[in-house]
A = this chain, B = another copy of it.
């Protein structure tokens, strides 16, 4: 197979776009597509300060890399959750972020170390609290959301960018559709507007890329990332749903993209308008982030909860 642009051997073929490209033109295409998505969805402008949530995985490091290449003012945020699991998952992923930044003159980043700041690692907090029983994923989401909002606000950033790709978005949507979680479906979008002072504007510049496309970009451009999934993700429903969607994509290429982009179109046409009512939010009495509950937010309550009996 040959590169559509230059005729040299292609290294990557995208069936749903009917497009094969070589190792020079694939990264070029990938960067240009990211720039288009940022403009199409009005995510941010070159004047904005962007905080990129980086996990050490391929998607978030590729996103940071592309934003820096495009000349955006993009800093990183690494949240150290203290996941050890015998092989040092957090330490290893943190090392990938540090290496990435060290190799680039303009890659600055903040680390939030959960154990240092709150006295417990994620697994410890999950074991102690009711929310964490069984699986720590719910506590993890809570902690990460809170830290991302906090650093975006305290660091004076205009917007928070995450590396969610099309496979991630399609799998979340799939789960929400199976249970008709209409509130969540109504809010799932490439851009989530800021809410008052505490909740950052959130954008997903990679939401139109298949996971294999972000992986190919990282591999071809030599970004060194952590290959392992989080040890707690094994058996997660979202991974099962990704498997189902992959199976359908195999049978009908383009299924995932149609599914996700179809939602965006359906919403434009009026679906969900009635459901998008604003929930009333109040600042948390402790941290000031907006929360739907009166008093303390769920995050601040987490650290005060007595150990489960």
Please name all residues of chain B whose beta carbon is closer than 8 Å to the beta carbon of A182 when the two chains form the complex: 266, 269, 271
Q: How far apart sit A270 and B179, CA to CA, in the bound complex (Å)?
A: 16
Distance from A247 Cβ to chain B, minimum over Cβ atoms (Å): 7
Closest-by-CB residue of B relative to A261 is: B180
Please name all residues of chain B whose beta carbon is closer than 8 Å to the beta carbon of A178 when the two chains form the complex: 248, 255, 258-259, 262
Please name all residues of chain B whose beta carbon is closer than 8 Å to the beta carbon of A179 when the two chains form the complex: 258-259, 262
User: What copy number does this chain have within its complex?
Assistant: 2
A264-298 at interface with B (beta carbon < 8 Å): 265-266, 269-275
- Report which A residues bind B (CB closer than 8 A): 177-180, 182, 240, 244, 247-248, 251, 255, 258-259, 262-263, 265-266, 269-275
Q: Is A272 in contact with B271, judged by CB distance below 8 angstroms? A: yes
Q: Is B255 in contact with A248, judged by CB distance below 8 angstroms? A: no
Majority-rule SS of A interface residues: helix
Given contacts A240-B251, A251-B240, contact A274 B275 (CB under 8 A): no
Shortest beta-carbon contacts, A-B, top 5: A180-B262, A180-B266, A270-B274, A182-B266, A178-B259
Q: How far apart sit A247 and B262, CA to CA, in the bound complex (Å)?
A: 24
Q: How far apart sit A184 and B266, CA to CA, in the bound complex (Å)?
A: 12
Q: How far apart sit A263 and B182, CA to CA, in the bound complex (Å)?
A: 9
Q: Is A180 in contact with B263, judged by CB distance below 8 angstroms? A: yes
Q: Is A244 in contact with B248, judged by CB distance below 8 angstroms? A: yes
Q: How far apart sit A248 and B245, CA to CA, in the bound complex (Å)?
A: 12
Please name all residues of chain B whose beta carbon is closer than 8 Å to the beta carbon of A275 when the two chains form the complex: 269-271
Please name all residues of chain B whose beta carbon is closer than 8 Å to the beta carbon of A272 when the two chains form the complex: 271
Closest-by-CB residue of B relative to A173 is: B177
Please name all residues of chain B whose beta carbon is closer than 8 Å to the beta carbon of A270 when the two chains form the complex: 274-275
Q: How far apart sit A262 and B178, CA to CA, in the bound complex (Å)?
A: 8
Q: How far apart sit A198 and B182, CA to CA, in the bound complex (Å)?
A: 35
